[in-house]
Amino acid sequence: MKINVLCLYYDIMNLYGDTGNIKVLTYHFDEQNIKYNIDYLSIDDTIDFSKYDLVLIGSGNENNRFICLNHLLKYKKDIKDAINNGTFFLVTGNAISMFGEKLYDKDALGIFKFKVEEAKERISKEVILENKIVSPIYGFFNHQDIMYGNDNLLFKDEGILYKNFYGTFTLGPLLSRNPEFLEYFLKKLIKHKDKNFKFKKINTDLNVKAYNQFIEFKKTKVFNSHKK
């Protein structure tokens, strides 16, 4: 078995180090003795989405996001086919807004039915997000998008979950900060490639320790702020 990964726009859509998700995945591929290939492609490259098992896109500034959207528009059908054929997508930060019908006043990819308008104020805050899949996801928001008409929510009121497409405004990198989601995502990806794969123990001990300490810190912080 060999897993083919595309890290797309690694150079201009990586404001918060979301290519770190690649490092997390390759660590665990090595741990499981899984062969893999990673292509780092950007706006000057031709893309064949049918070659990949997983596509990752991180966040960027507004100018870079529209540059990437213009590049992706010519691949609209290929992306839709890849999603419907089960290709995994992990799209974080403001990159998820490219996959709706409208991004501000510009036509977007139209893969999903939502539209995005520009918020009056920037949304910048730490978040802990409840979901139906795993323990609460934690990370950071920093965007100025308001999403309307999203019928494929990953979390209670944000993100995208459709087939094997996972999108969230959460920055991170997401996988290193959320070990239970990491293990869930990793197992789904590998089982999609080989349903009979036998896993070794997935070592997320340090991730779990960091996650638990952060959650405990946030609880204490909130409690103390209420006491004042």
Q: What is the CATH number of the domain that holds 217?
A: 3.40.50.880
For residue 153, what pLDDT band results from cuts at 50, 70 and 90? confident
Question: Can you tell me the mean pLDDT for 52-67?
Answer: 96
Contacts of 227 (CB under 8 A, 6+ apart): none
Residue position matching structure tokens 């797309």:
8
Q: How far apart are CA 75 and CA 67, in angstroms?
A: 14
Quick: pLDDT tens for 154-199.
877 789 999 999 999 998 799 999 999 999 999 999 999 999 999 9
Question: Can you tell me the mean pLDDT for 56-72?
Answer: 96
Quick: pLDDT tens for 97-138.
999 999 999 999 999 999 999 999 999 998 888 887 888 888
Whether the bond into 173 is cis, omega within 30 of 0: yes
Whole-angstrom CA distances from 103 to 83, 100, 111, 202 are 20, 7, 12, 39
Residue 75 DSSP code = G
pLDDT of residue 226: 34
Q: How far apart are CA 134 and CA 152, in angstroms?
A: 17
Dihedral pair phi/psi, residue 12, rounded to 5°: -125, 0
Helices (runs of H) and strands (runs of E) counted in the chain: 6, 10
For residue 223, what pLDDT band results from cuts at 50, 70 and 90? very low
Using the predicted structure, report yes or no on whether residue 222 has a pLDDT greater than 70: no
Q: Which residues pair with 126 in a beta bridge?
A: 140
Using the predicted structure, report yes or no on whether residue 224 has a pLDDT greater than 50: no
Domain range for 110 is 2-227
pLDDT of residue 217: 82
pLDDT of residue 221: 60
Report the DSSP pairing between strands 137-148 and 115-129.
Answer: antiparallel
pLDDT of residue 225: 36
Q: How far apart are CA 108 and CA 44, in angstroms?
A: 20
Domains in the chain: how many in total? 1
pLDDT of residue 198: 95
Dihedral pair phi/psi, residue 39, rounded to 5°: -105, 130
